[in-house]
Amino acid sequence: MQMLSSTQSETVGRILTEFKDRPGPLLEVLHAIQAALGHVPPGAVGLVADALNLSRADVHGVITFYHHFRTTPPGKHTVQVCRAESCQAVGGEALAQHARVRLGIDFHERTADGKFSLDPVYCLGNCACSPAVMIDGQLHGRVSPQRLDALLAEADTEEHRR
């Protein structure tokens, strides 16, 4: 298992100090780690388990149970395409296929240049404006394949500006 860098373990330690005395803190801790590091590195499992008096299996079990937690770093931009019924009713599957082809990756993967990761999501609560996509936490409605191309290009340009 890959070791955490010293800044990573410092971050995890700080989060554990902040959350460990709250009731039922594990999900809160994992959310905070993912928010800070972009993912929950496998190297953090032991630290979390020790601080919360849980077994490593408990922590691993929770990380793998929830779709939201990732154990590898995401792309610079995370693209979530809704695959649920309401979006399917208005071309959601074609949009999902377009996203795969356009990015050249499948769901749960990251582009080779590390720019984008593509994830499925099962409902973004924007069903009156289907199909829906979320890019870096920004929600988009009535997304056509052309509109998705424009949004991805926009995210890419922002990257260059930064």
Q: What residues line the site for another protein (CB under 8 A)?
A: 23-28, 30-31, 58, 61-62, 65-69, 84-90, 121-130, 132, 134, 137-142
| Distance of closest approach, residue 62 Cβ to another protein, in angstroms | 6
| Distance of closest approach, residue 43 Cβ to another protein, in angstroms | 20
| Distance of closest approach, residue 153 Cβ to another protein, in angstroms | 17
Question: Which CB atom, from 71 or from 139, has the smaller least distance to another protein?
Answer: 139
Question: Which CB atom, from 26 or from 79, has the smaller least distance to another protein?
Answer: 26
DSSP, collapsed to helix, strand or coil, labels residue 135 as strand
User: Does a cis peptide bond (omega within 30 degrees of 0) precede residue 73?
Assistant: no
Q: What is the dihedral of CA 62, 66, 71, 75, to 10 degrees?
A: -160
Interatomic CA distance for residues 99 and 29, integer angstroms: 32
Cα 53-59-109 angle, rounded to 5 deg: 155
| Distance of closest approach, residue 1 Cβ to another protein, in angstroms | 21
